Amino acid sequence: MLFSNLNEWMYQRCSQHERIVSILDDYLRKNPKDADLSVVHVLASTHMLGNAHDKALHHIKNAQQNYSAAKDLPVELLVQAGIYHVHLGNMEKAQVFFGVFTHETVNDYSHLIIEAADSLMTVKHHAYLMLERNDGVNKVSK
């Protein structure tokens, strides 16, 4: 969350969206296998501020391919990908990413659950069941 707030501040204060993206992209290009995943998070958030959800998803998918061979992506990045899919209208793909939420993790990820619900409300999608693990009993409709 700290990086997201920092990112918004940089974006609003500097008004240099392209420069921020260029710096972060350059870092990821120079560190293709061992980049700090928080940089991916900040870069994706920067794209989100510019409504470039597809570009944000590209970086998360790239991180998933390059960095997750040894470890799983952080839950924050997975939820962020789900939120971007919501904004792109890919509700089924979003549901897959929101599958990280379980009854056991509700307390640990309450802030992420709120962000996911806010994204659904933003696009006027009222299928909040997507945030609940339902084993396919209640299919989410578009």
- Helix H segments across the chain? 2-14, 17-30, 37-49, 53-67, 75-88, 91-97, 110-122
Both 138 and 85 in a single domain? yes
Both 14 and 59 in a single domain? yes
Question: What is the residue-level pLDDT of the chain in tens, covering all 142 positions?
Answer: 345 556 566 655 666 777 888 888 888 888 877 778 888 888 888 888 778 888 989 989 888 887 755 567 888 999 999 999 998 989 899 989 988 888 888 788 888 988 888 888 888 765 555 555 444 443 433 3
Both 67 and 11 in a single domain? yes
Both 86 and 133 in a single domain? yes
Overall number of domains in the chain: 2
Domain extent at residue 90: 74-142
